[in-house]
Structure 1
């Protein structure tokens, strides 16, 4: 045991070393397969003799292990029962006694376990926590409350449900009364220790945790025990939101326990104001005054940042309610708000300027992407905009007085100019600033183009503007990009691009951000505002310059630091399409391959490498068949290295790009090197990582049609079918299962599949009996039509093939399947390719199926009526691949690192299994006439016997 512990501890330490981390991580994966791995990790966490960094690594490894290995998709334990019970017995006590950094990781692990087990499979936990609470030892109590909060905080984002209500009731029954008592005890202890620094801070931490748990308990509804004690609770909240103590006077940098507690109270006040106005409304005025006084008394020091932000968020909640907002509806009050609260909190501070100079990428992310949700600037802006919603004319008038004052001062002071521009953007933009289009609606009392021309444009053009003034000018364009016409954009585009040559990191990055977003803009018809022809003249230089900025520092971490530059490269390639072949495509490919080789050593910025692979995807999509580039061969080497080294972050991207290369390859053979991948994707290993599954399934679907002869010759069809079966069994992988199955059914003849098809139908029917999703029914229906539409081809497929296999499982099972699944689901098909497949399948059923001719005579009529419904609006499938506008999802909607991230440049278009049939209505008429002649007039005879007069009239043109 000790030897095992030491070995794992050594591996954990090695993962912290950039040179050995990949090897150590792979070795830990092997250790994780051995029994009691999770308990060994907990043992390392609990060993005080181990260095803190090793214990922290073990806690992190434990959390990640639990995330992936605790339960399966059905909620069943993947670990032995004994191990599960030991974890639950040990974990709470261990977290309570651990240092704070370890507590955080173990708290997240408890939260993961609670997701599947709390409360019904872990119904002793709440009582166990209550038993451990101490009225005298804040260290123990805070450990217990940390555990409780890590479990209860899960409720905050959830939608209401009966199960959730039962869970909260279970907690409140056991935890409610001790919680109310503990509020009072913590208050007494704070009073008793007001001059005793250590215990005072400890009990203020306790009060903070209690306030967070108050939020947790009330996030869905106010429990009766809180409601009956609301008066007493509000007295405590009043006391501590205004509490002061000279012990905290000397602090400057970090928030103290006091600011943290006040921030937590503001969170609760915001919740109660937004959600429980009936119960809480009578307290709002007094709390507004309290919080206003707090805001007026705090200084610009960093220590107060979070508190200021939370206080402003509470005032924003007050301003959101029309009745409470009236508190602010007076010119002198609004002037005071702007002067005392808004201006001090939107003005640039020393710490902002330091971040601008020393941590530019962090400055950009906070400023631009809303990762500054807790910043003073953001919170002040939100409050101001909320007031603007109610009192647009008055707020505009008041704020403009200050804007004009700061513009005047800004002639000699760039900080004042920055405040003026920031204030203008804050009141000019209405509604959310969207990622796609910037500001969609503007304040009717301002003119954004005029303000730009008079006050901002000069900073964009001047060589000697202060860097922050340049940034403000670019950000102004970025924010109001939808408000400018094409003509106005043409005049600023070149000056904007010139700023990419700035020596200042923030300036050139903002320029790249603005250029990328303008290239993203499309008009009402989906056409780019700046099409390829507009950017062709400078695309080559632009790309070379962007690559030079990225590759300035060639260490893996620095190279991938700035995702905004890579996003701009990706956008230029998407807009240029195959025009890039005339603008140095070879050089672009060389840069992308070289970057791949560097960052695979240590992938550290998911956004950067997402855009990086989107850029490669764009090049493949638009240029893959250019003999000049030979992309299959060029990308094989770096991508094969990624697979050999198992760079797990990149594997799903590699398989998506490989799939696209195969799909676009005109040859019907597997390119040489790709043959080696067939064995690799049939091995179980790659499928064990959930994020790989959609990409691997797509790759298999792409390679099967090209490798058909090889698969038959080497008897590999069964392993492919085994993958289909495995994916079908998973809750979240059944769509991938159907991708694989469609490729198999679309590639091999009925003769080849004869011995397997009964099992395939059994598996599909079994899944259909288990409350299937609509998307699963849709995919099974599409598969049925694929089989049915292949009637008449060599190798005996068609509706009768499907029916014979279904009936061999159970007699008469086809009728309910056809009537309750196939006909209604087909009628709901939205995509033209699916409706086209339905038309072909129904037509061949009417003309070729013996079963429908003889056995299902009513079904023949139903099929014909459904075919006529589809032909009322004959589906037209757009030809071509790669002509559509490629817009990536807004990055903030992408769950990086969680499972699978699709590449939009590699998206597979809807698959048309019969591309040779262009006009389906004409094809139906031709096919029916030929089949009628072939079968001696039988089709016409069935029409006469089996259809209503209306249906006969509708079908007549197709048989005439």
Structure 2
């Protein structure tokens, strides 16, 4: 059935409505299954009669469709070739002619297509772009250059490879000369239109895009066409760094195209200075003077912020090359730099104070998380630190004169003190300030603890009337230098820090939460918390109640989840106090978390907040699920089942992780009644179509199979489970999840149940072994084999495996065993896997008819030798769920909102199907002796005939 354009437009409009968006998005998923859905979206994008919001929603839906449905994991098209061809024919022209907001979305879609197709499956694209360049129409040209930049910018973070080099050469060969010509065209047009505001802005945008593409083309290696024209390119760069035009005077807040162009030039200069000193070194001195003049001429207005920071980043790049850095190596020069460049750019401006008061969460994110990479303060600090790296003593002496000056002024002027503290922070820290530990290495010419006592501590303990920014500076000081304080110093500092959570100022209490959380996160060299449960337990109850009150202050979904720092602190307190939460009013804490879930499930908008929120719930599950004080499932069932029923897609992966963990923590208890209603839903194809659902769903299915084994057989659901296994095994990214399910199946059902399906299972596993399997795949195959081989008490065992393998292809078992199982088992790293290998090998030697008859000549001896190798260092499997310390992932490493984010509080323990076997070598001895008696001495006889004297000697204690 074809897509109805009018209906599709209505659905796209509904996605923009908070009340309807969930249903509309689910309906769009159904539309996306219809033929030519992508072309219907492009049709809406291209129709001027459609409202702008509808066209934008269609462009966004098209981009997301391309991301998920254009190619599979192997790079094969998921769409008909005819549709792919039409998309490529239409997309570039459509983007060029679209408004800028739509251009952005279509540009990202082109970049996604280029990821899989450019250049060999879309080799006409570069020539197509070149043919569309216009020397007279900047609108068309800018559209073309936007497309080009959206593709070439992908090269910037990549490592060099032959394929990448070929792609860049292909582009430069076609695009290089036209690019050089367009630089000249844009230069002439800017001159010709210097009095025409609209055209001037358009051609300055053209020049900006050309400079961005100069960066793209040069990011891997400097192309010959740019090397040849480098002198003329530098003349253009010089010209526009110095270019002024009265048409742009008077702007205050927004950067004009002129500032944007100068910023892009500084970016390109930074690349050339960092990467191509041999070619570009002769121009560095001149550009340094030029950029210095730019910095000296820009005012404090916000429009110059990015330009100032980019200019400072170029100077930082110059200071990074030792021979160029020498131009700064003079006390007088350094004093001028501090006075003319550093101080104006680190001092608090009115715009900073306005943001502090009006947009506090944005102020915090920019300041703390490094999202202020283009801020003047950050760039000035980076430049100062680079100078410090080269000339530590001189820079420290020069800067300290200014610190002391501003500290004196700071006795009556808090802004001056803020500057002093900021300068101290900038020069005291050496190297990167890490998220885990703050400043790890300190400038040897300063004393951070003394400076704190003399100048900072009074602000930390000052009453509520103190200036909020001074409080923030004090808290941030502790936050940055947290690794420099010892345990005793932290015992004294933690309470004043916690007291700042009571501040009425949003930024102050948020910074306090950030600092408390990071201190609680810190561990010593043994991995133990610096401040552990005993240190925080006395404050924990009041601290948690206060944090929840701050989170819940505004109950609208958007505001409640705005401040992820508060939720992160709640999570950390729960992780550190572990079972101590039972003494903090567990019911109240649980009710707060459920209340928050019920609010944010209506409109999830802050991925970091809800990640920490579910980690906090995971901490309660981890530490309290076996307590008689609280039964977690009845509390969690209502909000979680709503999330699953309404398909709140952002939360579904978290819910299944927590549900799976609840099942795993109580392996011997029966399946909770509520969970039975989920089985049919999770065995349907729908939930598995969302990639982020696959790992937690596979884990949940694996956890529920052992508990619901009888129902699964009685209700004939095993085939559905095995069809999910088959589907997951076919994808590279999901094959590990497939084996999780397969191991649960093999560990839960006996031979009579598995017999009808086992041949198909082995066929699927073997067929994937034929096509250059990864080591991790072979490892899972070997583990699966050993699990089958070890479960002799269920009618399985190696003979069961051999029977089904040989039924598929005669004599296939021998090469499989020799080339996959034996070598892969020897490489097992995890004790639980090596233990399984030991049990499997032992049972093969003791119980297998095939190995005592068919493979007795060589196979028995090989197996025994591999068993003895494993027993040289008998594997010891730790009980429980791994580390006591929960290290949640660094948020900046997590692809929030993309796919699957694991909860570390719910980290799965190792799968140990033989938990009752504790001392492995002792078990082997007992098992072998009993089996030898049971088989009338057969094992000892074979060992005597088939083993070397050394092997016999090693085996003797296990048999005698």
TM-score range, shorter chain: over 0.9
Is 1:50 aligned to residue 50 of structure 2? yes
Cα distance, 1:544 vs. partner? Answer: 0.6
Cα distance, 1:883 vs. partner? Answer: 6.1
SS, match of residue 779 in structure 1:
helix
Cα distance, 1:882 vs. partner? Answer: 6.8
Query: 1:376-525 maps to which residues of 2 (within 5 A)?
Result: 376-463=376-463, 464-525=465-526
Deviations 1:43-83 (A, max 9, x none): 22222222222221221111111111112222222222222
SS, match of residue 578 in structure 1:
helix
Cα distance, 1:36 vs. partner? Answer: 2.2
Contact 2:3 2:36 in 1 (8 A): no
Name the counterpart of 1:803.
802
| In structure 1, distance between residues paired with 2:274 and 2:53 | 42
Name the counterpart of 2:862.
862
| In structure 2, distance between residues paired with 1:817 and 1:452 | 67
SS, match of residue 220 in structure 1:
coil
| In structure 1, distance between residues paired with 2:3 and 2:151 | 34
Contact 1:622 1:882 in 2 (8 A): no
- After superposing the two structures, state which structure 1 stretch, 404-413 or 22-31, moved more: 22-31
| In structure 2, distance between residues paired with 1:49 and 1:111 | 27
Name the counterpart of 2:31.
31
Cα distance, 1:880 vs. partner? Answer: 2.5
Query: 1:875-890 maps to which residues of 2 (within 5 A)?
Result: 875-881=875-881, 884-890=884-890
TM-score (norm 2): 0.98
Is 1:220 aligned to residue 220 of structure 2? yes
- After superposing the two structures, state which structure 1 stretch, 571-580 or 11-20, moved more: 11-20
Cα distance, 1:676 vs. partner? Answer: 1.0
| In structure 2, distance between residues paired with 1:860 and 1:434 | 55
> How many residue pairs are counted as aligned between the two chains?
958
| In structure 1, distance between residues paired with 2:853 and 2:31 | 63
Quick one: structure 1 residues 809 and 4, their matched pair in 2 at CA, closer, same or farther if it must change by over 3 Å? Answer: closer
Deviations 1:895-935 (A, max 9, x none): 00111111101110111111111111111111111112222
Cα distance, 1:306 vs. partner? Answer: 0.5
| In structure 2, distance between residues paired with 1:323 and 1:624 | 62
Name the counterpart of 1:687.
688
| In structure 1, distance between residues paired with 2:809 and 2:447 | 73
Cα distance, 1:394 vs. partner? Answer: 1.3
SS, match of residue 913 in structure 1:
coil
SS, match of residue 704 in structure 1:
helix
Name the counterpart of 1:814.
813
| In structure 1, distance between residues paired with 2:845 and 2:398 | 75
Query: 1:604-643 maps to which residues of 2 (within 5 A)?
Result: 604-643=605-644
| In structure 1, distance between residues paired with 2:434 and 2:846 | 53
SS, match of residue 906 in structure 1:
coil
Name the counterpart of 1:231.
231
Query: 1:228-627 maps to which residues of 2 (within 5 A)?
Result: 228-463=228-463, 464-627=465-628
Contact 1:436 1:521 in 2 (8 A): yes
Name the counterpart of 1:758.
759
**Which consecutive unaligned segments of at least 5 residues does structure 1 have?**
none
TM-score (norm 1): 0.98
SS, match of residue 430 in structure 2:
strand
Contact 2:880 2:909 in 1 (8 A): no
SS, match of residue 163 in structure 2:
helix
| In structure 1, distance between residues paired with 2:438 and 2:835 | 39
Name the counterpart of 1:942.
942
Name the counterpart of 1:850.
849
Cα distance, 1:666 vs. partner? Answer: 4.8
Deviations 1:328-350 (A, max 9, x none): 11111111111111111111111
| In structure 1, distance between residues paired with 2:96 and 2:225 | 27
- After superposing the two structures, state which structure 1 stretch, 929-938 or 605-614, moved more: 929-938
Contact 1:107 1:147 in 2 (8 A): yes
Query: 1:721-870 maps to which residues of 2 (within 5 A)?
Result: 721-791=722-792, 793=793, 795-856=794-855, 857-870=857-870
Name the counterpart of 2:119.
119
SS, match of residue 35 in structure 1:
coil
Cα distance, 1:487 vs. partner? Answer: 0.5
Contact 1:621 1:882 in 2 (8 A): no
- After superposing the two structures, state which structure 1 stretch, 262-271 or 45-54, moved more: 45-54
Contact 2:701 2:741 in 1 (8 A): yes
| In structure 2, distance between residues paired with 1:442 and 1:751 | 68
| In structure 2, distance between residues paired with 1:440 and 1:944 | 62
Quick one: structure 1 residues 669 and 482, their matched pair in 2 at CA, closer, same or farther if it must change by over 3 Å? Answer: same
Contact 2:556 2:599 in 1 (8 A): yes
Deviations 1:863-912 (A, max 9, x none): 22222222222111111337611110010000001111111011101111
Cα distance, 1:504 vs. partner? Answer: 0.2
- After superposing the two structures, state which structure 1 stretch, 859-868 or 773-782, moved more: 859-868
| In structure 2, distance between residues paired with 1:301 and 1:103 | 29
| In structure 2, distance between residues paired with 1:299 and 1:666 | 67
Cα distance, 1:559 vs. partner? Answer: 0.5
- After superposing the two structures, state which structure 1 stretch, 268-277 or 36-45, moved more: 36-45
Cα distance, 1:196 vs. partner? Answer: 2.0
Deviations 1:199-231 (A, max 9, x none): 111111111001111111111111111111111
- After superposing the two structures, state which structure 1 stretch, 846-855 or 143-152, moved more: 846-855
Cα distance, 1:585 vs. partner? Answer: 0.7
SS, match of residue 4 in structure 2:
helix
Name the counterpart of 1:676.
677
Cα distance, 1:556 vs. partner? Answer: 0.4
Contact 1:172 1:223 in 2 (8 A): yes
| In structure 2, distance between residues paired with 1:926 and 1:81 | 64
Name the counterpart of 1:75.
75
Contact 2:798 2:848 in 1 (8 A): yes
| In structure 1, distance between residues paired with 2:881 and 2:693 | 25
Contact 2:2 2:34 in 1 (8 A): no
Quick one: structure 1 residues 455 and 233, their matched pair in 2 at CA, closer, same or farther if it must change by over 3 Å? Answer: same
